[in-house]
Amino acid sequence: MQFYSTNNKNLSSNLKNAVLQGLAPDNGLYMPEHIPVMPEEFWQQLPNLSLGEIGFETLRHFFCPDIPEEVFHQITDEAFNFPIPVVPVSEEISALELFHGPTLAFKDIGSRFLARVMSQFTENGGKPINVLVATSGDTGSAVANGFLGVEGVNVIILYPEGLVSEVQEKQFTTLGQNIQALEVKGTFDDCQRLVKTAFMDEALRQEIVLTSANSINLARFLPQMVYYFYAFGQIKRQDWKDTVICVPSGNFGNLTAGVIAAQMGLPVKRFVAATNVNDIVPHYLETGNYHPAPSIATPANAMDVGDPSNFVRIQTIFDNNLNKIQDCLTGLSVTDEQIKETIRIVFKKHRYVLDPHGAVGYRALQKNLKKDEKGIFLATAHPAKFPETVEMETQQKIQQPQRLERFMHGTKSTTALTKNYSDLKCFLETSSVFKT
């Protein structure tokens, strides 16, 4: 399959170049030239398929035969090897728990898959592949742990100083080996801008091989569709067409994957695009006006995005037709106080512990459900990653999984960086690690 740029459908690439480039040469995002519809046989078998089998059946259309099917089957079995249960919270609402992977966040799904796909493409004239990634929280830990120790690949993570939780920070600043963390004096949007600028710097890319592991990379966001299919395999088939899915959204890669799953035939009734006070997309869905803005820090920090990169993919899928987008999506934003209130109320009433991002999803879904509908919200991170907020609202000590405790005992190692691109470029150009 070929992949085209969202800026120019006539500019296309094969899989290997699209994965390794991250961004298209014209600064567009890569999209598959064709979205297949899954056959009826797949839907009949779905409740009996494992997560890895669903990954193989749905993703092979995009990644094979560039990657041989027998190799690709091994990739999906290895990448998707932990539980993703649908857990009832109330009579109408369930959580799709995406936090049972190595770093306890949904981004383990895409990052583990991407690392294995990229390992198929590491032969590049002797030069290492350098994965440059911006994070507002969980992306950094998932990418770092997904790529840790992968031969021929360096990972450089940019994150905003003081704007990620201590647990999140420890998960990618204590690893060493092929992982480097850059602590930027700025916001996530500054980090994302630095990454995009580096990708567009032709002189720099003549010196070193750069690619992305953010959801702008098609091999990071496409595998996220797998758990939407898996969720429907866990619920009664007669409920399929009355089910609404709420996606807590920051950079909108997660929701884009869900929309593509729907294009492949997933019988979801509609999606709810839930944001914190960074409400660029809900405002657009209500008014038709799309105005990126500086990001605002919130308790749901992984969603603190004022210029979501991936929403252009959703616009492309629907040919920039607002009415078609509105038929598929509803947008709702949740304030900081509502996040805290929701954690408090849901724990008291249902004894279910939400993290701040899950609270955004639950709140928006609850407000959007109509009579006779059922809803699933994506629980994207383990509440133990946000102990300050969660423990304050539940008045309960959150038990830390052993995986998190190991990270907390590690020693932080970072390089301080300003938000000026010249500093990032100097760092990349002067390190022999990225060139040899």
Helix (H, G, I), strand (E, B), or coil: what is residue 337?
helix
* C-alpha count within 13 angstroms, C-beta hemisphere, residue 396: 15
Rounded-to-integer distance, Cα 214 and Cα 32, Å: 17
Give the residue among 389, 407, 276, 385 at the shortest CA–CA distance from 335. Answer: 276
Which of the following is catalytic: 9, 16, 107, 385?
107
The phi, psi pair for 163, rounded to 5°, reads -115, 15
Give the residue among 117, 131, 37 at the shortest CA–CA distance from 76. Answer: 117
Give the residue among 278, 277, 393, 279 at the shortest CA–CA distance from 335. Answer: 277
122: Cβ–Cβ under 8 A, 6 or more apart, which residues? 129, 150, 151, 152, 153
Q: Are 101 and 82 in contact (CB under 8 A)?
A: yes
Rounded-to-integer distance, Cα 384 and Cα 104, Å: 9
> 382-403: buried (b, 16+ CB within 10 Å) or exposed (e) per residue?
bbbbbbebbbebbeeebebeee
Mark whether 269 is an active-site residue: no
The phi, psi pair for 30, rounded to 5°, reads -80, 140
Q: Are 228 and 266 in contact (CB under 8 A)?
A: yes
Helix axes 188-199, 421-430, angle to 10 degrees: 60
Helix (H) or strand (E) holding 315: helix 311-317
Q: What is the 3-state secondary structure (H, E, C) of 356-425?
A: HHHHHHHHHHHHHCCCCCEEEEEECECHHHCHHHHHHHHCCCCCCCHHHHHHHCCCCCCEEECCCHHHHH
87: Cβ–Cβ under 8 A, 6 or more apart, which residues? 94, 95, 96, 97, 352, 379
By annotation, the residues acting in catalysis are: 107
